[in-house]
Amino acid sequence: MTEKRIACIGAGYVGGPTMAVIAMKCPQYKVTVADISEARIAAWQTDDLPIYEPGLLEVVQAGRGRNLFFSTDIPGAIREADIVFVSVNTPTKTFGDGAGKAADLQYWERVAREILRVSTSPKIVVEKSTLPVKTAHIMETILNANNNGVKFEVISNPEFLAEGTAIQDLLDPDRVLIGSRETPSGLKARQEIVDIYANWVPRERILTSNVWSAELSKLAANAFLAQRISSINSISALCERTEANVKEVARAIGMDARIGPRFLNASVGFGGSCFKKDILNLVYICESYGLQEVARYWQAVLDINEYQEKRFVRAMIRGMFNTIVGKRIALFGFAFKADTSDTRESPAIYVARDLLEEQAHVVVTDPKALENARKDLAGYAENLEFVEDPYEAARGAHAVAIMTEWDVYRSLDWERIYRSMEKPAFLFDGRDIVDYKHVYDLGFNVYPLGSPAMKHF
Ligand code: UDX
Ligand code: UDX
Protein backbone atom coordinates (compact mmCIF):
# COMPACT_ATOMS: atom_id res chain seq x y z
CA MET A 1 0.00 0.00 0.00
CA THR A 2 1.30 3.45 -0.85
CA GLU A 3 1.72 5.32 2.42
CA LYS A 4 2.84 8.64 1.01
CA ARG A 5 3.00 10.18 -2.43
CA ILE A 6 6.08 12.29 -2.90
CA ALA A 7 6.84 14.54 -5.85
CA CYS A 8 10.11 16.30 -6.53
CA ILE A 9 10.33 19.17 -8.99
CA GLY A 10 13.85 19.35 -10.47
CA ALA A 11 15.64 16.17 -11.56
CA GLY A 12 19.18 17.53 -11.22
CA TYR A 13 22.24 16.62 -9.15
CA VAL A 14 20.26 17.08 -5.95
CA GLY A 15 16.69 16.04 -6.83
CA GLY A 16 17.59 12.90 -8.78
CA PRO A 17 19.89 11.13 -6.29
CA THR A 18 17.90 12.25 -3.22
CA MET A 19 14.63 10.89 -4.56
CA ALA A 20 16.25 7.70 -5.82
CA VAL A 21 17.53 7.00 -2.29
CA ILE A 22 14.15 7.82 -0.68
CA ALA A 23 12.45 5.45 -3.15
CA MET A 24 14.96 2.70 -2.46
CA LYS A 25 14.73 3.02 1.31
CA CYS A 26 10.96 3.52 1.41
CA PRO A 27 9.24 1.04 -0.93
CA GLN A 28 5.95 1.95 0.74
CA TYR A 29 6.07 5.47 -0.83
CA LYS A 30 5.49 6.45 -4.42
CA VAL A 31 8.14 8.93 -5.58
CA THR A 32 7.79 10.92 -8.81
CA VAL A 33 10.59 13.18 -10.01
CA ALA A 34 9.41 15.77 -12.51
CA ASP A 35 11.40 18.22 -14.58
CA ILE A 36 10.75 20.65 -17.43
CA SER A 37 13.63 19.20 -19.41
CA GLU A 38 12.43 16.36 -21.64
CA ALA A 39 15.99 15.32 -22.41
CA ARG A 40 16.85 14.98 -18.72
CA ILE A 41 13.74 12.97 -17.92
CA ALA A 42 14.33 10.72 -20.93
CA ALA A 43 17.89 10.07 -19.74
CA TRP A 44 16.74 9.19 -16.20
CA GLN A 45 14.65 6.45 -17.80
CA THR A 46 17.69 4.81 -19.40
CA ASP A 47 20.87 3.38 -17.91
CA ASP A 48 22.76 6.33 -19.37
CA LEU A 49 21.77 8.69 -16.54
CA PRO A 50 22.06 12.45 -17.08
CA ILE A 51 24.62 12.78 -14.29
CA TYR A 52 27.58 10.64 -13.25
CA GLU A 53 27.62 9.69 -9.60
CA PRO A 54 29.20 6.52 -8.19
CA GLY A 55 26.53 3.98 -7.15
CA LEU A 56 23.63 6.06 -8.49
CA LEU A 57 22.64 3.72 -11.30
CA GLU A 58 22.13 0.77 -8.95
CA VAL A 59 19.96 2.86 -6.63
CA VAL A 60 17.87 4.14 -9.56
CA GLN A 61 17.50 0.65 -10.98
CA ALA A 62 16.29 -0.65 -7.61
CA GLY A 63 13.29 1.68 -7.61
CA ARG A 64 12.61 2.64 -11.20
CA GLY A 65 9.20 1.47 -12.41
CA ARG A 66 8.43 0.09 -8.93
CA ASN A 67 7.96 3.19 -6.77
CA LEU A 68 10.30 5.64 -8.51
CA PHE A 69 9.04 7.44 -11.60
CA PHE A 70 10.44 10.19 -13.82
CA SER A 71 8.07 12.49 -15.65
CA THR A 72 7.72 15.80 -17.47
CA ASP A 73 4.14 16.11 -16.26
CA ILE A 74 4.85 18.59 -13.46
CA PRO A 75 1.16 19.47 -12.78
CA GLY A 76 0.24 15.77 -12.62
CA ALA A 77 3.07 14.98 -10.21
CA ILE A 78 2.12 17.90 -7.95
CA ARG A 79 -1.58 17.14 -7.99
CA GLU A 80 -1.27 13.59 -6.75
CA ALA A 81 1.44 14.27 -4.15
CA ASP A 82 1.06 14.83 -0.41
CA ILE A 83 4.59 16.17 -0.18
CA VAL A 84 6.33 18.23 -2.89
CA PHE A 85 10.09 18.65 -2.72
CA VAL A 86 11.42 21.52 -4.81
CA SER A 87 15.00 21.25 -6.02
CA VAL A 88 15.06 23.46 -9.07
CA ASN A 89 18.18 25.50 -9.56
CA THR A 90 18.68 28.84 -7.85
CA PRO A 91 21.61 30.36 -9.73
CA THR A 92 23.23 33.70 -9.03
CA LYS A 93 21.24 36.51 -10.61
CA THR A 94 22.81 37.78 -13.81
CA PHE A 95 20.65 40.85 -14.29
CA GLY A 96 19.14 43.84 -12.51
CA ASP A 97 19.26 44.53 -8.80
CA GLY A 98 21.68 42.18 -7.01
CA ALA A 99 23.19 40.93 -10.29
CA GLY A 100 26.26 38.79 -9.60
CA LYS A 101 25.29 38.21 -5.96
CA ALA A 102 21.65 37.61 -5.14
CA ALA A 103 19.95 34.28 -5.85
CA ASP A 104 17.73 34.18 -8.90
CA LEU A 105 14.46 32.89 -7.49
CA GLN A 106 12.41 32.95 -10.67
CA TYR A 107 12.35 29.16 -11.10
CA TRP A 108 11.45 28.64 -7.49
CA GLU A 109 8.64 31.15 -7.60
CA ARG A 110 7.34 29.68 -10.85
CA VAL A 111 7.13 26.25 -9.21
CA ALA A 112 5.37 27.73 -6.15
CA ARG A 113 2.77 29.34 -8.41
CA GLU A 114 2.33 26.09 -10.30
CA ILE A 115 1.75 24.24 -7.02
CA LEU A 116 -0.86 26.82 -6.08
CA ARG A 117 -2.52 26.63 -9.50
CA VAL A 118 -2.92 22.88 -9.76
CA SER A 119 -3.39 21.71 -6.16
CA THR A 120 -6.77 20.42 -5.07
CA SER A 121 -5.58 18.90 -1.77
CA PRO A 122 -3.34 20.16 1.08
CA LYS A 123 0.39 19.69 0.64
CA ILE A 124 3.69 20.03 2.40
CA VAL A 125 6.12 21.97 0.22
CA VAL A 126 9.75 21.21 1.01
CA GLU A 127 12.62 23.54 0.10
CA LYS A 128 15.46 21.30 -1.05
CA SER A 129 17.25 23.92 -3.14
CA THR A 130 19.55 26.24 -1.22
CA LEU A 131 17.70 29.48 -0.74
CA PRO A 132 18.25 32.82 0.92
CA VAL A 133 17.13 32.88 4.54
CA LYS A 134 13.48 33.99 4.74
CA THR A 135 12.51 32.51 1.36
CA ALA A 136 9.98 30.21 3.06
CA HIS A 137 8.08 33.32 4.06
CA ILE A 138 7.77 34.41 0.42
CA MET A 139 6.69 30.90 -0.55
CA GLU A 140 4.05 30.84 2.15
CA THR A 141 2.74 34.18 0.97
CA ILE A 142 2.43 32.95 -2.61
CA LEU A 143 0.97 29.58 -1.67
CA ASN A 144 -1.58 31.03 0.68
CA ALA A 145 -2.80 33.56 -1.88
CA ASN A 146 -5.53 31.10 -2.79
CA ASN A 147 -9.15 31.14 -1.82
CA ASN A 148 -10.11 27.53 -2.42
CA GLY A 149 -9.29 26.40 1.11
CA VAL A 150 -6.25 24.29 0.17
CA LYS A 151 -3.59 24.60 2.89
CA PHE A 152 0.18 24.46 2.42
CA GLU A 153 3.01 24.12 4.91
CA VAL A 154 6.51 25.14 3.88
CA ILE A 155 9.42 23.13 5.28
CA SER A 156 13.14 23.77 4.83
CA ASN A 157 15.11 20.55 4.39
CA PRO A 158 18.45 21.61 2.89
CA GLU A 159 20.56 18.97 1.21
CA PHE A 160 24.15 18.56 2.39
CA LEU A 161 25.30 15.90 -0.09
CA ALA A 162 28.55 16.47 -1.94
CA GLU A 163 28.92 15.42 -5.55
CA GLY A 164 30.99 12.33 -6.15
CA THR A 165 29.87 10.92 -2.80
CA ALA A 166 26.15 11.74 -3.12
CA ILE A 167 24.86 8.22 -2.58
CA GLN A 168 27.07 7.54 0.40
CA ASP A 169 26.16 10.96 1.88
CA LEU A 170 22.45 10.27 1.40
CA LEU A 171 22.58 6.75 2.81
CA ASP A 172 24.68 7.72 5.81
CA PRO A 173 24.33 11.47 6.39
CA ASP A 174 26.14 13.30 9.21
CA ARG A 175 22.78 14.90 9.86
CA VAL A 176 19.45 15.66 8.24
CA LEU A 177 18.03 19.08 9.01
CA ILE A 178 14.31 19.82 8.96
CA GLY A 179 13.05 23.31 9.72
CA SER A 180 9.44 24.31 10.10
CA ARG A 181 7.15 26.89 11.60
CA GLU A 182 6.60 26.17 15.26
CA THR A 183 2.81 26.24 14.94
CA PRO A 184 0.72 23.07 15.46
CA SER A 185 0.35 22.56 11.69
CA GLY A 186 4.04 23.39 11.11
CA LEU A 187 5.14 20.86 13.73
CA LYS A 188 2.86 18.23 12.21
CA ALA A 189 4.36 18.81 8.77
CA ARG A 190 7.86 18.67 10.29
CA GLN A 191 7.03 15.25 11.76
CA GLU A 192 5.89 13.97 8.36
CA ILE A 193 9.28 14.80 6.88
CA VAL A 194 11.12 13.37 9.90
CA ASP A 195 9.18 10.13 9.33
CA ILE A 196 10.55 9.85 5.78
CA TYR A 197 14.21 9.97 6.84
CA ALA A 198 13.58 7.87 9.96
CA ASN A 199 13.20 4.93 7.58
CA TRP A 200 16.98 4.71 7.43
CA VAL A 201 18.65 7.58 9.31
CA PRO A 202 19.22 7.12 13.09
CA ARG A 203 16.81 9.40 14.93
CA GLU A 204 19.58 11.30 16.77
CA ARG A 205 20.97 12.48 13.44
CA ILE A 206 17.66 14.01 12.35
CA LEU A 207 17.73 17.58 13.62
CA THR A 208 14.76 19.86 13.73
CA SER A 209 14.77 23.62 14.02
CA ASN A 210 12.83 26.69 13.14
CA VAL A 211 12.57 27.31 9.43
CA TRP A 212 14.95 30.29 9.29
CA SER A 213 17.70 28.42 11.15
CA ALA A 214 17.43 25.57 8.65
CA GLU A 215 17.67 27.92 5.67
CA LEU A 216 20.62 29.82 7.15
CA SER A 217 22.44 26.66 8.31
CA LYS A 218 22.83 25.52 4.74
CA LEU A 219 24.41 28.80 3.64
CA ALA A 220 26.58 28.87 6.76
CA ALA A 221 27.77 25.26 6.33
CA ASN A 222 28.88 25.91 2.76
CA ALA A 223 30.52 29.19 3.76
CA PHE A 224 32.49 27.46 6.56
CA LEU A 225 33.61 24.65 4.25
CA ALA A 226 34.74 27.10 1.59
CA GLN A 227 36.45 29.20 4.24
CA ARG A 228 38.61 26.25 5.27
CA ILE A 229 39.77 25.83 1.69
CA SER A 230 40.54 29.53 1.31
CA SER A 231 42.39 29.44 4.62
CA ILE A 232 44.66 26.57 3.58
CA ASN A 233 45.05 28.02 0.09
CA SER A 234 46.18 31.34 1.52
CA ILE A 235 48.76 29.44 3.59
CA SER A 236 49.85 27.54 0.44
CA ALA A 237 50.97 30.83 -1.12
CA LEU A 238 53.11 31.55 1.92
CA CYS A 239 54.54 28.00 1.93
CA GLU A 240 55.76 28.41 -1.65
CA ARG A 241 57.81 31.45 -0.55
CA THR A 242 59.16 30.07 2.70
CA GLU A 243 60.14 26.46 1.99
CA ALA A 244 57.37 25.26 4.23
CA ASN A 245 55.21 22.48 2.79
CA VAL A 246 51.46 22.96 2.91
CA LYS A 247 50.78 19.23 3.31
CA GLU A 248 52.97 19.11 6.38
CA VAL A 249 51.32 22.23 7.75
CA ALA A 250 47.81 20.84 7.05
CA ARG A 251 48.73 17.62 8.80
CA ALA A 252 50.11 19.41 11.80
CA ILE A 253 47.16 21.74 12.25
CA GLY A 254 44.59 19.06 11.38
CA MET A 255 45.73 16.81 14.23
CA ASP A 256 44.43 19.41 16.63
CA ALA A 257 41.05 17.87 17.39
CA ARG A 258 39.53 21.34 17.51
CA ILE A 259 40.53 21.96 13.90
CA GLY A 260 40.16 18.45 12.49
CA PRO A 261 41.91 16.87 9.49
CA ARG A 262 39.28 17.02 6.74
CA PHE A 263 38.84 19.64 4.04
CA LEU A 264 42.38 20.96 4.36
CA ASN A 265 43.65 20.03 0.88
CA ALA A 266 45.23 23.02 -0.79
CA SER A 267 44.06 23.33 -4.38
CA VAL A 268 43.93 25.58 -7.41
CA GLY A 269 40.63 26.74 -5.93
CA PHE A 270 37.24 25.39 -5.01
CA GLY A 271 34.56 25.01 -7.66
CA GLY A 272 31.13 23.45 -7.85
CA SER A 273 27.66 24.81 -8.15
CA CYS A 274 27.30 25.74 -4.49
CA PHE A 275 30.19 27.41 -2.71
CA LYS A 276 30.53 30.55 -4.79
CA LYS A 277 26.82 30.99 -5.32
CA ASP A 278 25.97 30.48 -1.67
CA ILE A 279 28.68 32.80 -0.34
CA LEU A 280 27.68 35.51 -2.82
CA ASN A 281 24.20 35.04 -1.54
CA LEU A 282 25.31 35.29 2.08
CA VAL A 283 27.24 38.46 1.27
CA TYR A 284 24.21 39.94 -0.44
CA ILE A 285 21.91 39.11 2.47
CA CYS A 286 24.36 40.63 4.97
CA GLU A 287 24.61 43.77 2.89
CA SER A 288 20.89 44.05 2.60
CA TYR A 289 20.60 43.92 6.41
CA GLY A 290 23.28 46.62 6.67
CA LEU A 291 25.93 44.21 8.04
CA GLN A 292 28.81 45.50 5.89
CA GLU A 293 31.61 44.10 8.06
CA VAL A 294 30.11 40.62 8.00
CA ALA A 295 29.62 40.85 4.24
CA ARG A 296 33.27 41.85 3.75
CA TYR A 297 34.47 38.98 5.93
CA TRP A 298 32.76 36.35 3.75
CA GLN A 299 33.59 38.13 0.50
CA ALA A 300 37.28 37.63 1.38
CA VAL A 301 36.78 33.84 1.15
CA LEU A 302 35.81 34.30 -2.50
CA ASP A 303 38.59 36.80 -3.13
CA ILE A 304 41.22 34.30 -1.99
CA ASN A 305 39.70 31.65 -4.24
CA GLU A 306 40.00 33.90 -7.28
CA TYR A 307 43.51 34.90 -6.24
CA GLN A 308 44.49 31.24 -6.03
CA GLU A 309 43.35 30.54 -9.62
CA LYS A 310 45.09 33.64 -10.97
CA ARG A 311 48.22 32.87 -9.00
CA PHE A 312 48.36 29.40 -10.53
CA VAL A 313 48.21 30.74 -14.09
CA ARG A 314 50.75 33.45 -13.30
CA ALA A 315 53.16 30.81 -11.96
CA MET A 316 52.77 28.87 -15.20
CA ILE A 317 53.54 31.86 -17.38
CA ARG A 318 56.52 32.96 -15.26
CA GLY A 319 57.85 29.43 -14.96
CA MET A 320 57.73 28.93 -18.71
CA PHE A 321 59.98 31.93 -19.44
CA ASN A 322 57.23 34.57 -19.47
CA THR A 323 55.54 33.45 -22.64
CA ILE A 324 53.24 30.56 -23.42
CA VAL A 325 52.21 31.67 -26.91
CA GLY A 326 51.79 28.58 -29.06
CA LYS A 327 52.95 26.25 -26.27
CA ARG A 328 51.01 23.04 -25.89
CA ILE A 329 49.67 22.73 -22.34
CA ALA A 330 47.77 19.63 -21.23
CA LEU A 331 45.15 20.16 -18.52
CA PHE A 332 44.69 16.91 -16.59
CA GLY A 333 41.13 17.01 -15.35
CA PHE A 334 38.31 19.43 -15.95
CA ALA A 335 35.66 18.34 -13.42
CA PHE A 336 35.44 20.60 -10.35
CA LYS A 337 36.47 17.61 -8.22
CA ALA A 338 37.12 13.90 -8.71
CA ASP A 339 34.36 11.36 -9.33
CA THR A 340 31.92 13.68 -11.04
CA SER A 341 31.21 14.80 -14.58
CA ASP A 342 30.14 18.19 -13.22
CA THR A 343 32.22 21.19 -14.27
CA ARG A 344 30.13 24.01 -12.86
CA GLU A 345 32.46 26.75 -11.57
CA SER A 346 35.39 24.39 -12.00
CA PRO A 347 38.71 26.23 -11.55
CA ALA A 348 39.78 24.45 -14.76
CA ILE A 349 37.38 26.65 -16.74
CA TYR A 350 39.07 29.82 -15.56
CA VAL A 351 42.56 28.42 -15.94
CA ALA A 352 41.79 27.19 -19.49
CA ARG A 353 40.34 30.55 -20.48
CA ASP A 354 43.31 32.46 -19.08
CA LEU A 355 45.74 30.17 -20.92
CA LEU A 356 43.81 30.56 -24.17
CA GLU A 357 43.84 34.33 -23.75
CA GLU A 358 47.63 34.03 -23.46
CA GLN A 359 47.51 32.19 -26.82
CA ALA A 360 48.67 28.87 -25.47
CA HIS A 361 47.52 25.67 -27.19
CA VAL A 362 45.33 23.95 -24.60
CA VAL A 363 44.62 20.21 -24.55
CA VAL A 364 41.93 19.11 -22.12
CA THR A 365 41.65 15.56 -20.83
CA ASP A 366 39.25 14.17 -18.22
CA PRO A 367 37.80 10.69 -17.55
CA LYS A 368 34.17 11.90 -17.25
CA ALA A 369 33.81 15.59 -17.94
CA LEU A 370 34.89 16.13 -21.54
CA GLU A 371 31.33 16.65 -22.77
CA ASN A 372 30.76 19.43 -20.24
CA ALA A 373 34.23 20.84 -20.89
CA ARG A 374 33.34 21.25 -24.56
CA LYS A 375 30.29 23.29 -23.61
CA ASP A 376 32.21 25.41 -21.10
CA LEU A 377 34.85 26.30 -23.68
CA ALA A 378 32.51 26.73 -26.64
CA GLY A 379 33.57 29.85 -28.44
CA TYR A 380 37.27 29.03 -28.16
CA ALA A 381 37.55 26.87 -31.28
CA GLU A 382 41.16 27.73 -31.97
CA ASN A 383 44.12 26.33 -30.07
CA LEU A 384 41.92 23.91 -28.17
CA GLU A 385 41.70 20.11 -28.20
CA PHE A 386 39.84 17.51 -26.16
CA VAL A 387 41.57 14.18 -25.78
CA GLU A 388 40.42 11.18 -23.75
CA ASP A 389 43.75 9.54 -23.08
CA PRO A 390 46.04 11.54 -20.76
CA TYR A 391 49.16 10.07 -22.40
CA GLU A 392 47.98 11.31 -25.79
CA ALA A 393 47.09 14.70 -24.29
CA ALA A 394 50.62 15.11 -22.94
CA ARG A 395 52.40 14.03 -26.12
CA GLY A 396 54.46 16.94 -27.45
CA ALA A 397 53.30 19.23 -24.62
CA HIS A 398 55.52 21.78 -22.89
CA ALA A 399 53.57 21.44 -19.70
CA VAL A 400 51.07 19.30 -17.86
CA ALA A 401 48.83 21.01 -15.30
CA ILE A 402 46.78 18.89 -12.91
CA MET A 403 43.37 20.42 -12.38
CA THR A 404 41.35 17.59 -10.82
CA GLU A 405 42.45 15.01 -8.24
CA TRP A 406 41.20 11.97 -10.20
CA ASP A 407 42.67 8.74 -8.85
CA VAL A 408 43.99 7.82 -12.30
CA TYR A 409 46.30 10.84 -12.17
CA ARG A 410 47.90 9.59 -8.96
CA SER A 411 49.28 6.48 -10.61
CA LEU A 412 50.34 7.63 -14.08
CA ASP A 413 53.54 6.47 -15.72
CA TRP A 414 55.30 9.84 -15.48
CA GLU A 415 58.43 8.50 -17.10
CA ARG A 416 56.44 7.65 -20.24
CA ILE A 417 54.79 11.06 -20.15
CA TYR A 418 58.12 12.83 -19.67
CA ARG A 419 59.67 11.03 -22.65
CA SER A 420 56.84 12.13 -24.98
CA MET A 421 56.97 15.82 -23.99
CA GLU A 422 58.87 18.87 -25.27
CA LYS A 423 61.89 19.77 -23.15
CA PRO A 424 62.27 21.43 -20.76
CA ALA A 425 59.12 19.74 -19.49
CA PHE A 426 56.99 21.34 -16.78
CA LEU A 427 54.52 19.89 -14.32
CA PHE A 428 52.17 22.24 -12.44
CA ASP A 429 50.26 20.36 -9.78
CA GLY A 430 47.06 22.24 -8.91
CA ARG A 431 45.92 19.47 -6.57
CA ASP A 432 49.08 18.53 -4.76
CA ILE A 433 48.85 14.82 -5.69
CA VAL A 434 52.14 13.98 -7.41
CA ASP A 435 55.27 12.55 -5.80
CA TYR A 436 57.42 15.62 -6.53
CA LYS A 437 60.77 14.13 -5.82
CA HIS A 438 60.10 11.22 -8.17
CA VAL A 439 58.94 13.38 -11.09
CA TYR A 440 61.73 15.89 -10.50
CA ASP A 441 64.27 13.06 -10.69
CA LEU A 442 62.71 12.01 -14.00
CA GLY A 443 63.58 15.44 -15.37
CA PHE A 444 60.44 17.49 -14.86
CA ASN A 445 60.54 21.05 -13.60
CA VAL A 446 57.92 20.75 -10.90
CA TYR A 447 55.64 23.42 -9.46
CA PRO A 448 53.87 21.79 -6.54
CA LEU A 449 51.04 23.68 -4.96
CA GLY A 450 52.09 24.80 -1.53
CA SER A 451 55.81 24.15 -1.63
CA PRO A 452 58.66 25.81 -3.54
CA ALA A 453 59.23 25.04 -7.24
CA MET A 454 61.89 22.41 -8.10
CA LYS A 455 63.77 23.40 -11.27
CA HIS A 456 66.70 21.92 -13.14
CA PHE A 457 67.96 25.32 -14.32
C1 UDX B 1 19.89 22.67 -7.33
C2 UDX B 1 20.19 24.14 -7.09
O3 UDX B 1 21.01 24.59 -8.11
C4 UDX B 1 20.90 24.45 -5.84
O5 UDX B 1 20.63 25.78 -5.46
C6 UDX B 1 20.47 23.68 -4.70
O7 UDX B 1 21.41 23.83 -3.69
C8 UDX B 1 20.23 22.26 -5.05
O9 UDX B 1 19.39 22.13 -6.19
P10 UDX B 1 21.19 20.92 -8.80
O11 UDX B 1 20.29 19.78 -8.53
O12 UDX B 1 22.66 20.68 -8.86
O13 UDX B 1 21.08 22.01 -7.68
O14 UDX B 1 20.68 21.73 -10.06
P15 UDX B 1 20.46 21.21 -11.54
O16 UDX B 1 21.26 19.98 -11.77
O17 UDX B 1 20.60 22.40 -12.40
O18 UDX B 1 18.94 20.73 -11.52
C19 UDX B 1 17.85 21.56 -11.49
C20 UDX B 1 16.76 20.96 -12.37
O21 UDX B 1 15.56 21.72 -12.25
C22 UDX B 1 17.11 20.92 -13.87
O23 UDX B 1 17.03 19.61 -14.35
C24 UDX B 1 16.04 21.83 -14.51
O25 UDX B 1 15.62 21.38 -15.79
C26 UDX B 1 14.91 21.75 -13.50
N27 UDX B 1 13.99 22.90 -13.53
C28 UDX B 1 14.46 24.15 -13.50
C29 UDX B 1 12.61 22.66 -13.60
O30 UDX B 1 12.17 21.53 -13.66
N31 UDX B 1 11.77 23.75 -13.61
C32 UDX B 1 12.22 25.03 -13.59
O33 UDX B 1 11.41 25.97 -13.62
C34 UDX B 1 13.61 25.23 -13.53
C1 UDX C 1 29.54 21.11 -1.28
C2 UDX C 1 29.34 20.70 0.18
O3 UDX C 1 30.43 19.85 0.58
C4 UDX C 1 28.01 19.98 0.36
O5 UDX C 1 27.79 19.69 1.74
C6 UDX C 1 26.91 20.86 -0.18
O7 UDX C 1 25.66 20.18 -0.09
C8 UDX C 1 27.17 21.26 -1.61
O9 UDX C 1 28.45 21.90 -1.72
P10 UDX C 1 30.32 19.86 -3.51
O11 UDX C 1 30.43 21.23 -4.09
O12 UDX C 1 29.55 18.83 -4.26
O13 UDX C 1 29.62 19.92 -2.06
O14 UDX C 1 31.77 19.26 -3.27
P15 UDX C 1 32.91 19.47 -2.17
O16 UDX C 1 33.47 18.14 -1.87
O17 UDX C 1 32.46 20.26 -1.02
O18 UDX C 1 34.04 20.26 -2.97
C19 UDX C 1 33.85 21.60 -3.38
C20 UDX C 1 35.13 22.13 -4.00
O21 UDX C 1 36.14 22.30 -3.02
C22 UDX C 1 35.75 21.21 -5.07
O23 UDX C 1 36.22 21.99 -6.14
C24 UDX C 1 36.88 20.54 -4.33
O25 UDX C 1 37.90 20.09 -5.19
C26 UDX C 1 37.35 21.67 -3.44
N27 UDX C 1 38.08 21.21 -2.24
C28 UDX C 1 37.46 20.42 -1.31
C29 UDX C 1 39.39 21.62 -2.04
O30 UDX C 1 39.95 22.35 -2.86
N31 UDX C 1 40.05 21.21 -0.91
C32 UDX C 1 39.46 20.41 0.03
O33 UDX C 1 40.12 20.08 1.03
C34 UDX C 1 38.13 20.01 -0.18
Ligand 2 centroid to 438 CA: how many Å? 29
* Average pLDDT value for residue range 28-37: 98
Q: pLDDT exceeding 70 applies to what percent of the chain?
A: 100
d(CA 209, CA 104): 25
Q: Is 265 in the pocket of ligand 2 (CB under 6 A)?
A: yes
Query: Span 246-254, mean pLDDT?
Result: 98
Quote the ligand 1 centre to 38 CA distance (angstroms): 14
Q: Could you confirm whether 239 is annotated as catalytic?
A: no
Q: Which residue's alpha carbon is at the smallest distance from atom 18 of ligand 1?
A: 12
Q: Is the pLDDT confidence value at 146 over 80? A: no
Taking only the tens place, the pLDDT of each residue in 215-229 is: 999 999 999 999 999
pLDDT for the residue 119: 94
When pLDDT is averaged across residues 338-367 and rounded to a whole number, the result is 97
Q: What is the pLDDT of residue 1?
A: 66
Tens of pLDDT, residues 417-436: 999 999 999 999 999 999 99
Mutate to test the pocket of ligand 1, among 78, 88, 108, 216 (most ligand atoms within 8 A of CB): 88
Q: What is the pLDDT of residues 162-217, one digit of tens each?
A: 999 999 999 999 999 999 999 999 999 999 999 999 999 999 999 999 999 999 99
pLDDT 10s digits, 376-410: 999 998 999 999 999 999 999 999 999 999 999 99
